[in-house]
Amino acid sequence: MVGVAPLARRAGRRLLSSLPALFGVVIFTFLLMRVLPGDPAVFFASGPNAGQAEIEEIRRQMGLDKPIPEQLVRYLWDIGHGKLGRSMGTGQPVVTDLANRLPASLELTFTALLLALSLALPLGIIAALRPNSAVDHAVRLLCTLGVCVPTFVSGLLFIYAFYYLLGIAPDPTGRIDIFASQPPNVTGFLLIDSALAGDWEAWWAAASQLILPACTMALFVLAPLARMTRASMLAVMTSDFIRTGDALGLSRRRVVLVYGLRNALLPVITIMGIVFSTMLGANVLVEKVFSWPGVASYALDALLASDYAPVQGFVLLMAGIFVLVNLTVDILYGLADPRISIE
């Protein structure tokens, strides 16, 4: 195992190196605000008939009359203090809205990721161990088809099949049946909250709402994950050290699991960041299809209503999450591969 100190150093360095990227994101959202069509002050004015004087007043309040660099400094100051403005749609501060809705998005994303991983890894490994067998062909077909199905189509097809035709899925809107009792809010994750409260009825209600959108999203990332697992396992199994293991009489299980799989998982870990980012993007589509009350659908509604403060907040949030995810991936990789600590 690698020592803790180099790992912490690595994590710190990685965090530092992601700062420029984060700063870039902030600049981008700032510019986004400036180039967006329309004058923000006009939106914030009381109505379409607001007088020029009123608009000017709001402009002054928002600091839009100041030179751009000063606006940027104020913007950074606000972000530093957790002020992301107010949503016109809900009338709430954007931070509050995002905090309320984030657990819904995360619950969906993590469930889907877990589902995808628990299917993709075994499938990829089995396929790689028996190249050109029936299993292998089936997995390859699944991978090929999987990347071609847009999430919004597969989600709608799931609804058609399980809600309309079979009638076994609940009405595809929201996180929990409106008639079911809402568990007390602890973590914001309904599955965890209801389990903590011992309310298994609510747990079941939440789970049955979650399963279709989670499957939709899992299907979307299943293909790249399985494909990667298969490819890297295939490559590892033909490498020299596997031959060494065989030549020295290690058991098949040891060769495959300890020598093969552990090495094959390294590239899979590295693409986890990309996979997660794709999922955050796909969230927008899935949340729209299933009317899921997450951050993405919130941002989308705001975007379509030309309400830009939530969009800005959302983009910043996504970038922040993404940096965290990459950091985690990096630390995992550092734990798994002793070679990188030397660079």
- Residues numbered 247-276 forming contacts with other proteins, rule: CB under 8 A: 247-252, 254, 258-259, 262-263, 266
Quick count: other Cβ atoms within 10 Å of Cβ 105? 26
Residue 135 sits in the site that holds other proteins (CB under 8 A): no
What CA–CA distance (Å, rounded) separates 81 from 101?
20
Smallest gap from residue 53 Cβ to other proteins (A): 29
Site for other proteins in 140-199 (CB under 8 A): 144-145, 147-153, 156-157, 159-160, 163-165, 171-172
Residue 244 sits in the site that holds other proteins (CB under 8 A): yes
Compute and round to an integer the Cα radius of gyration of the chain: 24
Four-point Cα dihedral 103, 105, 111, 116, nearest 10:
-150
Instruction: Name the 3-class secondary structure at 187.
Output: coil
Options 67-75, 96-104, 176-184, 288-296: segment touching other proteins (CB under 8 A): 288-296
Residue 282 sits in the site that holds other proteins (CB under 8 A): yes
Site for other proteins in 100-129 (CB under 8 A): none
Instruction: Tell me, residue by residue from 25 to 64, as one string, x for binding to other proteins by CB under 8 A and - for no binding.
Output: x--xx-xx--xxx---------------------------
Smallest gap from residue 127 Cβ to other proteins (A): 10
Lookup result for tokens 């990227």: 21
Options 66-74, 139-147, 185-193, 209-217: segment touching other proteins (CB under 8 A): 139-147
Instruction: Tell me, residue by residue from 323 to 342, as one string, x for binding to other proteins by CB under 8 A and - for no binding.
Output: x------------xxxx--x
Residue from 256, 7, 214 nearest 111 by CA: 214
Which residue, 191 or 284, is less far from other proteins as judged by CB?
A: 284
What CA–CA distance (Å, rounded) separates 162 from 141?
24
Which residue, 54 or 177, is less far from other proteins as judged by CB?
A: 177
Which residue, 202 or 285, is less far from other proteins as judged by CB?
A: 285
Site for other proteins in 4-23 (CB under 8 A): 18, 20-22
Residue from 84, 81, 88 nearest 30 by CA: 84
Smallest gap from residue 115 Cβ to other proteins (A): 19
User: SS3 breakdown of the chain: % helix, strand, coil, rounded to 5?
Assistant: 75, 0, 25
Smallest gap from residue 89 Cβ to other proteins (A): 15
Residues in contact with other proteins, total (CB under 8 A)? 81
Continuous segment of H or E residues that includes residue 3: none
What CA–CA distance (Å, rounded) separates 35 from 318?
21
Instruction: Name the 3-class secondary structure at 93.
Output: strand
What CA–CA distance (Å, rounded) separates 254 from 324?
34
Which residue, 14 or 83, is less far from other proteins as judged by CB?
A: 14
Instruction: Name the 3-class secondary structure at 75.
Output: helix
Sequence-distant (6+) residues with CB within 8 A of 64 are 39, 40, 41, 71
Backbone φ and ψ for 86, nearest 5 degrees, come out as: -120, 140
Smallest gap from residue 176 Cβ to other proteins (A): 18
What CA–CA distance (Å, rounded) separates 315 from 98?
11
Which residue, 201 or 246, is less far from other proteins as judged by CB?
A: 246
Q: Cα(first)–Cα(last) distance of the chain, in Å?
A: 17
Which residue, 116 or 300, is less far from other proteins as judged by CB?
A: 300
Smallest gap from residue 200 Cβ to other proteins (A): 28
Instruction: Tell me, residue by residue from 203 to 242, as one string, x for binding to other proteins by CB under 8 A and - for no binding.
Output: ------------------------x--xx--x---xxxx-
Which residue, 103 or 245, is less far from other proteins as judged by CB?
A: 245
**Chain Cα centroid distance, residue 16:** 22
Question: 93: which strand partners?
Answer: 86
Site for other proteins in 296-315 (CB under 8 A): 296, 300, 303-304, 308, 311, 314-315
